[in-house]
Structure 1
Amino acid sequence: MSIDKAYNNWAEQYDSNLNKTRDLDQKATIETLEKYNFENVLELGCGTEKNTQWLLNKASKIIGLDFSDEMLNKAKEKISSENVIFQKADLTKNWDVENGFADLITSSLTLEHIEDLNHIFRQANLKMKNEGIFFISELHPFKQYSGSKAKYETEDGIHELEVYTHHISEYMEKANQNGFSLIELNEWFDEDNKELSRLISFVFKK
Protein backbone atom coordinates (compact mmCIF):
# COMPACT_ATOMS: atom_id res chain seq x y z
CA MET A 1 0.00 0.00 0.00
CA SER A 2 1.33 3.45 -0.91
CA ILE A 3 2.26 5.77 1.96
CA ASP A 4 -0.35 8.40 1.06
CA LYS A 5 -3.10 5.78 0.82
CA ALA A 6 -2.04 4.21 4.12
CA TYR A 7 -2.17 7.54 5.94
CA ASN A 8 -5.47 8.44 4.28
CA ASN A 9 -6.87 5.22 5.74
CA TRP A 10 -5.24 5.85 9.11
CA ALA A 11 -6.38 9.48 9.42
CA GLU A 12 -9.80 8.78 10.94
CA GLN A 13 -8.31 6.95 13.92
CA TYR A 14 -4.83 8.49 14.11
CA ASP A 15 -5.63 10.88 16.96
CA SER A 16 -7.71 8.46 19.03
CA ASN A 17 -5.83 5.15 18.82
CA LEU A 18 -3.31 4.20 21.50
CA ASN A 19 0.01 5.31 20.03
CA LYS A 20 3.04 5.63 22.29
CA THR A 21 5.24 6.85 19.45
CA ARG A 22 2.87 9.70 18.53
CA ASP A 23 2.48 10.79 22.15
CA LEU A 24 6.19 10.63 22.95
CA ASP A 25 6.96 12.63 19.81
CA GLN A 26 4.67 15.41 21.01
CA LYS A 27 6.46 15.44 24.37
CA ALA A 28 9.88 15.50 22.66
CA THR A 29 8.82 18.32 20.36
CA ILE A 30 7.54 20.56 23.14
CA GLU A 31 10.36 19.91 25.58
CA THR A 32 13.00 20.51 22.90
CA LEU A 33 11.55 23.55 21.15
CA GLU A 34 10.14 25.48 24.11
CA LYS A 35 13.58 27.01 24.74
CA TYR A 36 13.97 28.34 21.17
CA ASN A 37 12.48 31.46 19.62
CA PHE A 38 10.98 31.27 16.14
CA GLU A 39 8.52 33.13 13.94
CA ASN A 40 8.12 31.33 10.60
CA VAL A 41 7.77 27.55 10.79
CA LEU A 42 7.81 24.94 8.06
CA GLU A 43 6.33 21.73 9.41
CA LEU A 44 7.19 18.61 7.39
CA GLY A 45 4.67 15.80 7.79
CA CYS A 46 2.28 17.91 9.85
CA GLY A 47 -0.37 15.16 9.79
CA THR A 48 -3.49 15.92 11.79
CA GLU A 49 -1.76 18.92 13.48
CA LYS A 50 -0.67 17.11 16.64
CA ASN A 51 2.21 19.59 17.03
CA THR A 52 0.91 22.54 15.00
CA GLN A 53 -1.31 24.01 17.70
CA TRP A 54 1.54 24.15 20.18
CA LEU A 55 3.89 25.67 17.58
CA LEU A 56 1.26 28.32 16.87
CA ASN A 57 1.57 29.52 20.48
CA LYS A 58 5.07 30.76 19.61
CA ALA A 59 5.09 31.22 15.82
CA SER A 60 3.55 33.99 13.73
CA LYS A 61 3.23 31.87 10.58
CA ILE A 62 3.23 28.12 9.94
CA ILE A 63 3.20 26.19 6.69
CA GLY A 64 2.32 22.55 7.24
CA LEU A 65 3.16 20.07 4.49
CA ASP A 66 1.84 16.52 4.24
CA PHE A 67 1.30 13.95 1.51
CA SER A 68 -2.06 12.73 2.87
CA ASP A 69 -5.27 14.54 1.91
CA GLU A 70 -7.20 12.99 4.77
CA MET A 71 -4.59 13.87 7.38
CA LEU A 72 -4.66 17.45 6.13
CA ASN A 73 -8.46 17.51 6.23
CA LYS A 74 -8.34 16.54 9.90
CA ALA A 75 -5.79 19.28 10.56
CA LYS A 76 -7.95 21.89 8.82
CA GLU A 77 -10.97 20.86 10.88
CA LYS A 78 -9.07 21.62 14.08
CA ILE A 79 -7.14 24.76 13.11
CA SER A 80 -8.62 27.60 11.06
CA SER A 81 -6.10 30.32 11.92
CA GLU A 82 -5.09 32.67 9.12
CA ASN A 83 -1.54 32.22 10.41
CA VAL A 84 -1.48 28.55 9.36
CA ILE A 85 -1.43 27.16 5.84
CA PHE A 86 -1.82 23.44 5.27
CA GLN A 87 -0.84 22.16 1.85
CA LYS A 88 -0.39 18.80 0.19
CA ALA A 89 3.19 18.11 -0.77
CA ASP A 90 5.44 15.29 -1.89
CA LEU A 91 8.55 15.87 0.21
CA THR A 92 10.62 13.79 -2.21
CA LYS A 93 10.10 16.56 -4.80
CA ASN A 94 11.05 20.26 -4.59
CA TRP A 95 8.99 21.99 -1.90
CA ASP A 96 6.66 24.76 -3.04
CA VAL A 97 7.74 27.17 -0.31
CA GLU A 98 9.59 30.47 -0.64
CA ASN A 99 13.35 30.12 -0.23
CA GLY A 100 14.58 31.52 3.07
CA PHE A 101 11.09 31.43 4.61
CA ALA A 102 11.64 29.48 7.82
CA ASP A 103 13.65 30.07 10.94
CA LEU A 104 12.38 26.70 12.20
CA ILE A 105 11.77 23.53 10.20
CA THR A 106 10.34 20.52 12.00
CA SER A 107 10.01 16.92 10.87
CA SER A 108 8.27 14.45 13.16
CA LEU A 109 7.87 10.73 12.39
CA THR A 110 8.19 11.49 8.69
CA LEU A 111 11.69 10.69 7.48
CA GLU A 112 11.31 6.94 8.01
CA HIS A 113 9.04 7.06 4.95
CA ILE A 114 11.61 8.87 2.80
CA GLU A 115 14.57 7.05 1.33
CA ASP A 116 16.74 10.01 0.27
CA LEU A 117 17.75 12.09 3.30
CA ASN A 118 20.12 14.16 1.20
CA HIS A 119 17.16 15.66 -0.68
CA ILE A 120 15.45 16.57 2.60
CA PHE A 121 18.48 18.39 3.99
CA ARG A 122 19.14 20.11 0.66
CA GLN A 123 15.58 21.44 0.48
CA ALA A 124 15.66 22.40 4.16
CA ASN A 125 18.78 24.48 3.55
CA LEU A 126 17.05 26.31 0.70
CA LYS A 127 13.88 27.08 2.63
CA MET A 128 15.61 28.13 5.83
CA LYS A 129 17.05 31.46 6.92
CA ASN A 130 20.64 31.67 8.06
CA GLU A 131 20.96 30.71 11.73
CA GLY A 132 17.67 28.79 11.48
CA ILE A 133 17.18 25.44 13.19
CA PHE A 134 16.00 22.08 11.89
CA PHE A 135 14.30 19.84 14.47
CA ILE A 136 13.94 16.15 13.61
CA SER A 137 12.14 13.56 15.75
CA GLU A 138 12.07 9.97 14.51
CA LEU A 139 11.65 6.39 15.62
CA HIS A 140 15.05 5.46 17.00
CA PRO A 141 17.03 3.25 14.57
CA PHE A 142 17.71 0.91 17.50
CA LYS A 143 13.94 0.46 17.76
CA GLN A 144 13.81 -0.23 14.02
CA TYR A 145 16.59 -2.80 14.34
CA SER A 146 14.36 -4.66 16.79
CA GLY A 147 11.57 -4.82 14.18
CA SER A 148 9.41 -1.87 15.17
CA LYS A 149 7.78 0.20 12.42
CA ALA A 150 4.79 2.45 11.78
CA LYS A 151 1.57 0.44 11.78
CA TYR A 152 -2.11 0.73 12.58
CA GLU A 153 -4.94 -1.69 13.28
CA THR A 154 -8.15 -2.02 11.26
CA GLU A 155 -11.01 -4.50 11.10
CA ASP A 156 -8.96 -6.36 8.49
CA GLY A 157 -5.94 -6.66 10.75
CA ILE A 158 -2.72 -4.76 11.31
CA HIS A 159 -1.34 -2.71 8.42
CA GLU A 160 2.41 -2.06 8.42
CA LEU A 161 3.75 0.87 6.44
CA GLU A 162 6.77 0.87 4.16
CA VAL A 163 9.70 2.40 6.01
CA TYR A 164 13.42 3.01 5.63
CA THR A 165 16.00 2.71 8.38
CA HIS A 166 18.29 5.74 8.67
CA HIS A 167 21.29 5.27 10.91
CA ILE A 168 22.43 8.04 13.24
CA SER A 169 25.59 8.45 11.19
CA GLU A 170 23.47 9.01 8.07
CA TYR A 171 21.59 11.91 9.65
CA MET A 172 24.89 13.45 10.72
CA GLU A 173 26.56 12.97 7.35
CA LYS A 174 23.71 14.35 5.23
CA ALA A 175 23.20 17.29 7.56
CA ASN A 176 26.89 18.21 7.40
CA GLN A 177 26.97 17.88 3.61
CA ASN A 178 24.14 20.38 3.33
CA GLY A 179 25.38 23.11 5.63
CA PHE A 180 23.94 22.06 9.00
CA SER A 181 25.75 21.51 12.28
CA LEU A 182 24.42 19.48 15.19
CA ILE A 183 23.62 21.46 18.33
CA GLU A 184 21.44 18.96 20.22
CA LEU A 185 20.78 15.21 20.22
CA ASN A 186 18.41 13.41 22.60
CA GLU A 187 17.01 9.91 23.06
CA TRP A 188 13.48 9.46 24.37
CA PHE A 189 12.26 6.50 26.41
CA ASP A 190 8.88 5.12 27.37
CA GLU A 191 8.05 5.47 31.05
CA ASP A 192 7.93 1.67 31.40
CA ASN A 193 11.05 0.90 29.35
CA LYS A 194 14.30 2.69 30.09
CA GLU A 195 16.50 0.16 28.27
CA LEU A 196 15.52 0.70 24.64
CA SER A 197 14.81 4.27 23.50
CA ARG A 198 11.74 4.74 21.33
CA LEU A 199 12.66 8.03 19.67
CA ILE A 200 15.71 10.02 18.71
CA SER A 201 15.68 13.77 18.12
CA PHE A 202 18.18 16.14 16.55
CA VAL A 203 18.45 19.90 16.44
CA PHE A 204 20.62 21.13 13.57
CA LYS A 205 21.59 24.72 12.89
CA LYS A 206 22.19 26.24 9.48
Structure 2
Amino acid sequence: MSIKKAYNDWAEGYDINSNKTIDLDKKASMETLRNFNFSKVIELGCGTGKNTAFLLEKADEIIALDFSENMLAKAKEKIKDERVVFKKRDITTSWNIKNDFADLVTCSLILEHIKDLNLVFKQVSETLKNDGIFFVSELHPFKQYSGSKARYETEEGTQELETHVHHISEYIAVAEKNGLKLMELKEWFDEDNKSEIPRLIGLVFQN
Protein backbone atom coordinates (compact mmCIF):
# COMPACT_ATOMS: atom_id res chain seq x y z
CA MET A 1 0.00 0.00 0.00
CA SER A 2 1.35 3.45 -0.90
CA ILE A 3 2.11 5.82 1.97
CA LYS A 4 -0.37 8.37 0.66
CA LYS A 5 -3.19 5.82 0.43
CA ALA A 6 -2.35 4.50 3.89
CA TYR A 7 -2.63 7.92 5.50
CA ASN A 8 -5.83 8.67 3.61
CA ASP A 9 -7.27 5.42 5.00
CA TRP A 10 -5.89 6.12 8.50
CA ALA A 11 -7.37 9.63 8.68
CA GLU A 12 -10.79 8.55 9.93
CA GLY A 13 -9.44 6.84 13.04
CA TYR A 14 -6.22 8.80 13.54
CA ASP A 15 -7.54 10.97 16.37
CA ILE A 16 -9.69 8.25 17.91
CA ASN A 17 -7.59 5.10 18.13
CA SER A 18 -5.09 4.67 20.96
CA ASN A 19 -1.49 5.02 19.78
CA LYS A 20 1.44 5.38 22.20
CA THR A 21 3.74 6.87 19.58
CA ILE A 22 1.31 9.60 18.54
CA ASP A 23 0.45 10.44 22.15
CA LEU A 24 4.10 10.66 23.19
CA ASP A 25 4.93 12.78 20.15
CA LYS A 26 2.38 15.38 21.20
CA LYS A 27 3.87 15.49 24.69
CA ALA A 28 7.43 15.73 23.33
CA SER A 29 6.49 18.45 20.87
CA MET A 30 4.67 20.57 23.43
CA GLU A 31 7.35 20.26 26.12
CA THR A 32 10.16 21.05 23.67
CA LEU A 33 8.58 23.92 21.76
CA ARG A 34 7.27 25.77 24.80
CA ASN A 35 10.95 26.71 25.39
CA PHE A 36 11.17 28.68 22.14
CA ASN A 37 9.58 31.85 20.83
CA PHE A 38 8.20 31.77 17.30
CA SER A 39 5.81 33.73 15.15
CA LYS A 40 5.85 32.21 11.66
CA VAL A 41 5.75 28.42 11.43
CA ILE A 42 5.97 25.76 8.74
CA GLU A 43 4.43 22.51 9.96
CA LEU A 44 5.48 19.54 7.84
CA GLY A 45 3.14 16.57 7.78
CA CYS A 46 0.48 18.33 9.84
CA GLY A 47 -1.91 15.38 9.50
CA THR A 48 -5.20 15.98 11.30
CA GLY A 49 -3.83 19.07 13.04
CA LYS A 50 -3.03 17.31 16.32
CA ASN A 51 -0.07 19.63 16.95
CA THR A 52 -1.36 22.66 15.07
CA ALA A 53 -3.62 23.74 17.92
CA PHE A 54 -0.85 24.21 20.46
CA LEU A 55 1.40 25.89 17.88
CA LEU A 56 -1.33 28.52 17.61
CA GLU A 57 -0.77 29.40 21.26
CA LYS A 58 2.37 31.26 20.10
CA ALA A 59 2.30 31.52 16.31
CA ASP A 60 0.91 34.42 14.29
CA GLU A 61 1.04 32.49 11.02
CA ILE A 62 1.27 28.77 10.25
CA ILE A 63 1.67 27.10 6.87
CA ALA A 64 0.66 23.48 7.47
CA LEU A 65 1.60 20.97 4.77
CA ASP A 66 0.46 17.39 4.19
CA PHE A 67 0.11 15.14 1.15
CA SER A 68 -3.04 13.40 2.41
CA GLU A 69 -6.25 15.11 1.41
CA ASN A 70 -8.20 13.11 4.00
CA MET A 71 -5.87 14.14 6.81
CA LEU A 72 -6.11 17.77 5.72
CA ALA A 73 -9.90 17.56 5.62
CA LYS A 74 -9.92 16.42 9.25
CA ALA A 75 -7.54 19.23 10.21
CA LYS A 76 -9.73 21.84 8.54
CA GLU A 77 -12.79 20.51 10.36
CA LYS A 78 -11.07 20.94 13.74
CA ILE A 79 -9.09 24.12 13.26
CA LYS A 80 -10.86 27.15 11.87
CA ASP A 81 -8.36 29.92 12.45
CA GLU A 82 -7.33 32.46 9.85
CA ARG A 83 -3.73 32.27 11.07
CA VAL A 84 -3.42 28.75 9.60
CA VAL A 85 -3.20 27.94 5.91
CA PHE A 86 -3.45 24.22 5.13
CA LYS A 87 -1.82 23.18 1.86
CA LYS A 88 -1.64 19.84 0.08
CA ARG A 89 2.04 19.20 -0.58
CA ASP A 90 4.45 16.31 -0.93
CA ILE A 91 7.33 17.67 1.15
CA THR A 92 9.90 15.87 -1.01
CA THR A 93 8.96 18.30 -3.80
CA SER A 94 9.03 22.11 -3.77
CA TRP A 95 7.07 23.63 -0.90
CA ASN A 96 6.61 26.92 -2.78
CA ILE A 97 7.33 28.94 0.37
CA LYS A 98 9.56 31.99 0.20
CA ASN A 99 13.06 31.86 1.67
CA ASP A 100 13.66 33.19 5.19
CA PHE A 101 9.96 32.92 6.05
CA ALA A 102 9.85 30.89 9.25
CA ASP A 103 11.07 31.17 12.82
CA LEU A 104 10.18 27.51 13.27
CA VAL A 105 9.89 24.47 11.02
CA THR A 106 8.52 21.42 12.78
CA CYS A 107 7.85 17.85 11.73
CA SER A 108 6.55 14.82 13.60
CA LEU A 109 6.64 11.14 12.66
CA ILE A 110 7.10 11.66 8.93
CA LEU A 111 10.81 11.35 8.14
CA GLU A 112 10.76 7.57 8.48
CA HIS A 113 8.68 7.57 5.28
CA ILE A 114 11.26 9.59 3.35
CA LYS A 115 14.32 7.89 1.89
CA ASP A 116 16.42 10.95 1.03
CA LEU A 117 16.43 13.35 4.00
CA ASN A 118 18.55 15.91 2.16
CA LEU A 119 15.55 16.92 0.04
CA VAL A 120 13.74 18.02 3.19
CA PHE A 121 16.62 19.50 5.17
CA LYS A 122 17.68 21.65 2.19
CA GLN A 123 14.27 23.32 2.05
CA VAL A 124 14.21 23.68 5.83
CA SER A 125 17.47 25.62 5.67
CA GLU A 126 16.18 27.81 2.84
CA THR A 127 12.83 28.68 4.40
CA LEU A 128 14.14 29.28 7.95
CA LYS A 129 15.32 32.69 9.03
CA ASN A 130 18.81 33.06 10.45
CA ASP A 131 18.77 31.56 13.95
CA GLY A 132 15.44 29.87 13.15
CA ILE A 133 14.64 26.50 14.73
CA PHE A 134 13.96 23.11 13.13
CA PHE A 135 12.31 20.61 15.47
CA VAL A 136 12.20 16.91 14.56
CA SER A 137 10.22 14.30 16.50
CA GLU A 138 10.62 10.79 15.14
CA LEU A 139 10.37 7.13 16.06
CA HIS A 140 13.69 6.35 17.70
CA PRO A 141 16.01 4.34 15.45
CA PHE A 142 16.50 1.89 18.33
CA LYS A 143 12.77 1.12 18.01
CA GLN A 144 13.21 0.67 14.28
CA TYR A 145 16.14 -1.70 14.82
CA SER A 146 13.82 -3.83 16.95
CA GLY A 147 11.21 -3.96 14.19
CA SER A 148 8.81 -1.16 15.14
CA LYS A 149 7.29 0.95 12.39
CA ALA A 150 4.23 3.10 11.74
CA ARG A 151 1.08 0.99 11.81
CA TYR A 152 -2.64 1.36 12.32
CA GLU A 153 -5.60 -0.93 12.94
CA THR A 154 -8.42 -1.61 10.49
CA GLU A 155 -11.29 -4.07 10.37
CA GLU A 156 -9.05 -6.24 8.20
CA GLY A 157 -6.26 -6.17 10.79
CA THR A 158 -3.01 -4.26 11.36
CA GLN A 159 -1.68 -2.26 8.42
CA GLU A 160 2.06 -1.53 8.40
CA LEU A 161 3.48 1.37 6.42
CA GLU A 162 6.62 1.41 4.31
CA THR A 163 9.47 3.01 6.27
CA HIS A 164 13.19 3.81 6.11
CA VAL A 165 15.62 3.62 9.01
CA HIS A 166 17.54 6.84 9.70
CA HIS A 167 20.36 6.63 12.22
CA ILE A 168 21.01 9.45 14.68
CA SER A 169 24.32 10.16 12.97
CA GLU A 170 22.47 10.51 9.66
CA TYR A 171 20.14 13.20 11.03
CA ILE A 172 23.10 15.17 12.36
CA ALA A 173 25.19 14.77 9.20
CA VAL A 174 22.45 15.85 6.79
CA ALA A 175 21.65 18.81 9.04
CA GLU A 176 25.28 19.95 9.07
CA LYS A 177 25.44 19.55 5.30
CA ASN A 178 22.63 22.08 5.03
CA GLY A 179 23.96 24.55 7.58
CA LEU A 180 21.83 23.44 10.53
CA LYS A 181 23.52 23.07 13.91
CA LEU A 182 22.33 20.58 16.52
CA MET A 183 21.16 22.37 19.68
CA GLU A 184 19.36 19.62 21.56
CA LEU A 185 18.91 15.85 21.44
CA LYS A 186 16.45 14.17 23.77
CA GLU A 187 15.17 10.61 23.98
CA TRP A 188 11.56 10.06 25.00
CA PHE A 189 10.49 6.94 26.89
CA ASP A 190 7.13 5.32 27.55
CA GLU A 191 5.99 6.52 30.98
CA ASP A 192 9.56 7.81 31.54
CA ASN A 193 10.76 4.19 31.95
CA LYS A 194 14.41 4.57 31.03
CA SER A 195 15.13 0.88 31.47
CA GLU A 196 13.35 0.22 28.15
CA ILE A 197 14.20 1.23 24.58
CA PRO A 198 13.26 4.89 24.02
CA ARG A 199 10.22 5.32 21.79
CA LEU A 200 11.01 8.71 20.25
CA ILE A 201 13.92 10.95 19.53
CA GLY A 202 13.60 14.72 19.59
CA LEU A 203 16.13 16.88 17.76
CA VAL A 204 16.38 20.67 17.73
CA PHE A 205 18.52 22.30 15.05
CA GLN A 206 19.30 25.99 14.50
CA ASN A 207 19.84 27.62 11.14
Q: Do both share a fold (TM > 0.5)?
A: yes
RMSD of the alignment, in Å?
A: 0.8
CA distance in 1, matches of 2:101, 2:22: 27
**Could you say what secondary structure the match of 2:190 adopts?**
coil
The 5 A counterparts of 1:87-166 are 87-166=87-166
Shift in Å, 1:192: 7.1
Q: What are the ranges of 5 or more consecutive residues in structure 1 without an aligned counterpart?
A: none
Shift in Å, 1:100: 1.2
The number of residue pairs the alignment matches comes to 206
Runs of 4+ in 1 over 2 A off after TM superposition: none
Shift in Å, 1:157: 1.1
Q: Does 193-202 or 103-112 show the bigger shift?
A: 193-202
Q: Could you report, residue by residue, the CA deviation over 1:167-189 in whole angstroms, capped at 9, with x for unpaired residues?
A: 00000000000000000000000
**Could you say what secondary structure the match of 2:137 adopts?**
strand
For residue 179 of structure 1, what is the aligned residue in structure 2? 179
**Could you say what secondary structure the match of 2:172 adopts?**
helix
Identity of aligned residues (%): 64
Shift in Å, 1:193: 4.2
**Could you say what secondary structure the match of 1:50 adopts?**
coil
For residue 5 of structure 1, what is the aligned residue in structure 2? 5
**Could you say what secondary structure the match of 1:191 adopts?**
helix
For residue 28 of structure 2, what is the aligned residue in structure 1? 28
Which letter maps to 1:151? R
Q: Could you report, residue by residue, the CA deviation over 1:137-172 in whole angstroms, capped at 9, with x for unpaired residues?
A: 000000000000000111111110000000000000
For residue 42 of structure 2, what is the aligned residue in structure 1? 42
Q: What are the ranges of 5 or more consecutive residues in structure 2 without an aligned counterpart?
A: none
Q: TM-score, normalised by structure 2?
A: 0.98
2:184 aligned with 1:188: no
